[in-house]
Structure 1
Amino acid sequence: MAALFAAAPDTSESDLRPKTIILSLLILALMPAAAAASARQVALFQDDPLLVHQGGAIRAQTLDELQTLGVDAIKVQLNWSSVAPTGRRKPAGFDGSDPAAYPGFAPFDGFVADAQAQGFRVMIALSPPVPGWATARKGDREGEDRPSAKEFARFVEAAGRRYPTVDLWTLWNEPNHPGYLYPQATSKRVLYSPRLYRGLMRATTAGLRRSGHSGDRVLFGELLPIGKSKIFRRNTVKPVLWLRELFCLDSRWRPYRGRTARLHGCNGYRKLTGFNGFAYHPYTRAQGPRAVEPSRDDATIRSIGRITRALDIARRKRRIGGPRMSVWNTEFDFQSNPPDRFGARLARIPGFMGESEWMAYRNPRVASHSQYTLLDAPLGPGGDTSTWQGGLRFASGKVKKGVYAAYRLPLFVRLLGPNAVEVWGAARPGGAGAIVQVQERRGRSPYRSLGGPITVKSAQGYFKARFRLMRASRRDFRFTSGEHASWAVKAANR
């Protein structure tokens, strides 16, 4: 047992008796072991404005920066309406499966080529808005109203043919939000968006198969984590409830039958196939990753197990095919105050980031951890903060204090007793072979090393170490890797 811990001698606190050490180690030996961890989580990043829409020079600069941050893969939203012809009616003779028929692919071409040239894996999200000619309400400017699954299959095929080197795809954006898929429910308050999404799922696998991508990683979901308590056309829907409806299962996880099945569009339900992962946006409220969700049908970063349980039940009931699914965190961050007065306080975000990634790391089903945007969006007129403020930098380009460092070198320290801690972190840019040094201090005294240098073995840079030291809860902890130091944190009770 002693081999699991590195001792931290402290001559300034020599009253630590041998009995206290033995008792502390005995308590630690009796603690349950942590669950199997997801040490190979992909570091996923997204910032479409910088990487797609502001030209090659900005893209090159951004890719270089992401490389120094240790990013593995980059997600981009391939918005259907951005690349397709516009108008209320589909152009005469338009072949939606032919990539040459789309006028708007060029900015995405540049991104895919440049990102792959620098060694990044590219994830393409086949996303709304929908062209006005491909919705049930012709000329729909929002591009959300009952998209045509047939036309979408053709668009997916065109995208697959355009990007033969891409092998990671995901479907839609937050389909449980009425701004992306409408209506969420019928006038009788029966959920409707999951029915629409089932059609889009079948269209996606058909389009990718026809374009030669049948062996790729294909994700579905992309759900937001918290929904409204009541079902209406323009209300967001709780993700676990939405998943039950997607698989035509009732509140007790039983398949709909008879009249109920007809009411929910579930007559003749066919098992969904062709997907091998689930995409999710496990955002938390501004109070951070420990904040309790409004209901058990909501799921944030701390409760992804609710999502995997739903997927496992659906698989057991033959509502979806394939192996047990991993969950990909494909969009995540903390909107900050400043500038958003409703966001998390800036000083608390570095700690939130480390604890959130630690939570995901402990779940062996989680395949990625995501950061949504490098740069905040500019504020709206009159300081309107309805734009996105979750970047590592402010809109001016200034680094957010602590936040940037917490992404590069995430850290979480938990108390294992009054005189022991477990230090978890990631030397993200270095990966396997990186050398890290854990340090601690009390008050404003200089930092000192805890144990010796640690050689990282994980390709994604993750490491974990345990230390004995007096009054651990009163100390600050950090680690160094190369020329960089992590943000300092206190040990937490977990």
Structure 2
Amino acid sequence: MALRVALVTACAFAAFATTLAKDAAAAPGVRFGIQDDAWLEFGPGTLSQRVAELDRIGLEVVRVTLHWYRIERSPGRYDWRRSDRLLRALDARGLDPVVTLWGTPEWANDGAPNVPPRVGADFSSFARAAAARYPFVRHWTMWNEPNKAIWLKPVSARVYVSKILNPGHAGIKAANPRARVAGGVTAPRGGKGGIAPVDFIRGMDRAGARLDAYAHHPYPDYPGDTPFEGGCGHCKTISMSTLERLLREVDKAFPRASIWLTEYGYQSSPDPFGVSPETQAQFVSEAARRVFAAPRVEMLIHYLYRDEPDLERWQSGLETVDGEAKLALQATMIPFTQVTRAGTRPTVWGQVRPGTGGQSYVIQRRAGGSWVAVGGMRATSSRGYFGRTVSAAKGTQLRIWYPARRLASATLVVR
């Protein structure tokens, strides 16, 4: 185990150094975003204020679900009022919508929304109409977690490809050839009545799936899993800690496809299985570094801006249900994490997301009741990234100070 950890650390550092050097010349493709449809539509303040908040904290993409069964209640008759408000507000602020199409109307399947349409052409027509109405939307995902019975019944990669993905892909491309369409959108586990994502990817390949990107939701297998360690090494599940499994499977099935991670997060207390707010913030930062160094990953979308009030649901937000900022909000604005350490010389990584272009920042260490600079003011890359080796013993508390906005990262304790 010690040898494995050492090798993983060495490989991670090498990838980190290579990718950071690459960023100095050209920004890597990964962008960070959020999905919280309820908060976006009904949260406190006005829609423009909520969208401005997402821009303020440095996010670039926002995932929004369009419910086919609500928009096209009868064939060819569309109600775009909700999606007009949300998508045009995001576009006006310069935020990039990632639009998910889901939910079959009863007229198209004589069943519930998770039952596929009888005829794929019906979904293709809806996808084409949506893409025609929103030509500024460049990223589309077909369905949500079709490897789980709650979202697609029956669960079948062949049915998903023939009735949803390929018809949807054709419809989007007919209206906007430059748009990009993601398939899969798989959950990390199949669950009861479902299919593990590894098997679903292989089934999609056999069924002749057409896609520009493969989307996946790499939630942890267990609450204590970190973005780098944990998960099930011999299973066909795919979490953030087993991200290499996704990279391998997609590379074999769809070698030209990009990877979009369109839902991810860690639940924190008061969820009975949640981690502490400090650990949630740490994992948010580590996940950012994880995907920064991962080939072909173009986006990572955090699930929920605000916790849901029902403890049976999700407490993965950046705010509590009462609107109090969690440490994860700081970690979202300024992710900051340790890569490795040699004696009293830890190497750290981070990103300053608010603002555009390179930003000035200071690494600070805790000294008594104050924070003091370590190494003076430095500049990030054009995308806000930085990597440094500093002098700090194990147990030292470090943070990033961003003077332009008077913002601090969550505290990092050197391991």
Q: What TM-score do the two structures reach when normalised by structure 2?
A: 0.88
Task: List alignment gaps of at least 5 residues for structure 2.
Answer: 1-8
Q: Map 1:114-129 onto structure 2 (within 5 A).
A: 114-127=89-102, 129=103
Q: Any runs of at least 4 consecutive aligned residues in structure 1 with deviations exceeding 6 A, and if so which?
A: 28-32
Q: Write the letter of the residue equivalent to 1:347.
A: E
**Conserved? CA contact 1:227–1:236, under 8 Å:** yes
Structure 2 residue aligned with 1:404? 329
Structure 1 counterpart of 2:213, from 251, 268, 277 = 277
Structure 1 residue aligned with 2:88? 113
1:332 paired with 2:264, answer: yes
Flag the 1:33–1:130 CA change in 2: closer, same or farther, 3 A: same
Flag the 1:377–1:58 CA change in 2: closer, same or farther, 3 A: farther
Flag the 1:404–1:55 CA change in 2: closer, same or farther, 3 A: closer
Per-residue deviation, 1:210: 2.5
Structure 1 residue aligned with 2:224? 287
Q: Map 1:449-464 onto structure 2 (within 5 A).
A: 449-459=373-383, 461-464=384-387
Percent of aligned pairs with the same residue? 28
Per-residue deviation, 1:32: 6.8
1:309 paired with 2:248, answer: yes
**Conserved? CA contact 2:29–2:297, under 8 Å:** no
Q: Map 1:78-227 onto structure 2 (within 5 A).
A: 78-85=66-73, 91=74, 94-95=75-76, 101-103=77-79, 105-127=80-102, 129-135=103-109, 138=110, 140-141=111-112, 143-148=113-118, 149-184=120-155, 193-199=156-162, 200-211=164-175, 213-227=176-190
Q: Map 1:332-371 onto structure 2 (within 5 A).
A: 332-338=264-270, 340-371=271-302
Residues 109-141 of structure 1: per-residue CA shift (max 9 Å, x gap): 0111111111111111112x2212222xx2x24
Structure 2 residue aligned with 1:48? 37
Per-residue deviation, 1:368: 1.2
Structure 1 counterpart of 2:195, from 214, 218, 237 = 237
1:434 paired with 2:359, answer: yes
Q: Which has the higher contact order (CA 8 A, sep 6+)?
A: 1
Separation of aligned partners in 2, 1:146 and 1:302: 32
Per-residue deviation, 1:431: 4.0
Flag the 1:55–1:34 CA change in 2: closer, same or farther, 3 A: closer
Per-residue deviation, 1:51: 2.2
Separation of aligned partners in 2, 1:30 and 1:124: 35
Residues 357-399 of structure 1: per-residue CA shift (max 9 Å, x gap): 11111112211122112111222xxxxx222221111122122
Structure 2 counterpart of 1:71, from 59, 69, 86 = 59
Separation of aligned partners in 1, 2:248 and 2:316: 29
Flag the 1:414–1:31 CA change in 2: closer, same or farther, 3 A: closer
Separation of aligned partners in 1, 2:43 and 2:72: 20
Residues 186-224 of structure 1: per-residue CA shift (max 9 Å, x gap): xxxxxxx2111111121012211332x122121111111
3-state SS of paired residue (1:479): strand
Structure 2 counterpart of 1:476, from 394, 397, 415 = 397
**Conserved? CA contact 2:340–2:348, under 8 Å:** no
Per-residue deviation, 1:445: 5.2
Separation of aligned partners in 2, 1:198 and 1:328: 18
Separation of aligned partners in 2, 1:29 and 1:69: 32
3-state SS of paired residue (1:247): helix
Residues 37-92 of structure 1: per-residue CA shift (max 9 Å, x gap): 3844212121211223x28953112111111100111110111112121xxxxx5x
**Conserved? CA contact 1:431–1:457, under 8 Å:** no
3-state SS of paired residue (2:14): coil
1:447 paired with 2:371, answer: yes
Per-residue deviation, 1:465: 1.0
Separation of aligned partners in 1, 2:143 and 2:11: 46
**Conserved? CA contact 1:51–1:58, under 8 Å:** no
Separation of aligned partners in 1, 2:11 and 2:166: 50
Per-residue deviation, 1:351: 1.0
Q: What TM-score do the two structures reach when normalised by structure 1?
A: 0.75
Q: Write the letter of the residue equivalent to 1:62.
A: R
Flag the 1:69–1:387 CA change in 2: closer, same or farther, 3 A: same
Structure 2 residue aligned with 1:388? 314
Per-residue deviation, 1:31: 10
Q: Write the letter of the residue equivalent to 1:368.
A: M
Separation of aligned partners in 2, 1:356 and 1:77: 24
Structure 2 residue aligned with 1:375? 306
Flag the 1:464–1:40 CA change in 2: closer, same or farther, 3 A: farther
Flag the 1:57–1:450 CA change in 2: closer, same or farther, 3 A: closer
**Which one has the largest radius of gyration?**
1
Separation of aligned partners in 2, 1:83 and 1:378: 27
Separation of aligned partners in 2, 1:50 and 1:56: 8
Flag the 1:369–1:448 CA change in 2: closer, same or farther, 3 A: same
Residues 229-269 of structure 1: per-residue CA shift (max 9 Å, x gap): xxxxx523211121112223xxxxxxxxxxxxxxxxxxxx5
Flag the 1:466–1:126 CA change in 2: closer, same or farther, 3 A: same
